[in-house]
Chains A and B, each alone.
Chain A
Amino acid sequence: KQEVTQIPAALSVPEGENLVLNCSFTDSAIYNLQWFRQDPGKGLTSLLLIQSSQREQTSGRLNASLDKSSGRSTLYIAASQPGDSATYLCAVGKGAQKLVFGQGTRLTINP
């Protein structure tokens, strides 16, 4: 059974810092890995999708990496801003169907 873990559960940093969020998964036979952002009480916004054959994806100040052999992914956020405050969720695609989610990292950027 695939299990996804995100560490830390919460992170608070001052504005302008670069930061890394971590995601680990137990079964390396994944289809893809997706990073999402969730604002309080809202749905999920997709940030980056990495196919199983890829090593990383970039979008603006965000960079996500994938190391299937070690069962790890990281989300790097450069030059953090208060508007980046949200919960970040990592999800692993099993086959072409469902996503298995981690518990999320609650990020607070302090002005």
Chain B
Amino acid sequence: DTGVSQNPRHKITKRGQNVTFRCDPISEHNRLYWYRQTLGQGPEFLTYFQNEAQLEKSRLLSDRFSAERPKGSFSTLEIQRTEQGDSAMYLCASKPKPGTSVYNEQFFGPGTRLTVL
């Protein structure tokens, strides 16, 4: 499978615990995005990487959230001291370098559904 993969697919945790999600983008896609989607809403942008550099962060990304892409390949999103309001679907997407494909679109993974009890 050459699509975007995310792990785990589901995570249930207790309030106050830390959680970490992983995203593996499509091979050689240099741009990677994280979004959050709550029930009944469209996804909201969280952060964006070009290679290993984190170029933009949304104001939604509070101090409890941190994202990394250490080698410009996979990325992790960590939430510290989880709160019930963090319950959502966390989606990852990747996009090829400009000029490398006519398909200048973002390709999404299946998402990680987080439930905070």
- In the complex, what residues of B have CB within 8 A of residue A111's CB? none
With the chains together, A38 CA to B110 CA distance in Å? 10
Q: Is the CB of B104 within 8 A of A43?
A: no
Q: Are B42 and A91 in contact (CB under 8 A)?
A: yes
A42, B107: Cα distance in complex, Å = 13
A85-111 near B? 1/0 per residue, CB < 8 Å? 000010100001111111110000000
Contact B91 A99, beta carbon cutoff 8 Å: no
- The CA-CA distance from A99 to B107 in the complex, in Å, is 12
- Name the residue of chain A whose CB is nearest to the CB of B58: A98
Contact B110 A99 (CB under 8 A): no
Dominant SS among interface residues on chain A: strand
User: A49–B113 contact, CB under 8 A?
Assistant: no
- Stretch binding the partner chain, chosen from B13-21, B43-51, B67-75: B43-51
Number of interface residues of B (CB under 8 A): 26
- Nearest to B109 among chain A residues (CB) is A43
Return chain B residues, CB-CB under 8 Å to A42: 110-111
Number of interface residues of A (CB under 8 A): 23
Q: Does A44 contact B (CB under 8 A)?
A: yes
- List residues of A (41-89) whose CB comes within 8 Å of B's CBs: 41-46, 49, 51, 89
Nearest CB in chain B to that of A101: its residue: B42
B97 to chain A, nearest CB (A): 10
Judging by beta carbons under 8 Å apart, are A49 and B104 in contact?
A: yes
A46–B40 CA distance with the chains assembled, in angstroms = 19
Residues of chain A touching chain B, judged by Cβ–Cβ distance below 8 Å, are 4, 32, 34, 36, 41-46, 49, 51, 89, 91, 96-104
**Closest A-B pairs by Cβ, 4 of them:** A101-B42, A98-B45, A44-B108, A43-B110
Could you list 25 examples of A-B contacts with CB < 8 Å?
A: A4-B42, A34-B105, A36-B108, A41-B113, A42-B110, A43-B6, A43-B108, A43-B109, A43-B110, A44-B43, A46-B105, A46-B106, A46-B108, A49-B104, A89-B43, A91-B42, A96-B98, A97-B31, A97-B48, A97-B56, A98-B45, A98-B48, A99-B35, A100-B45, A101-B44
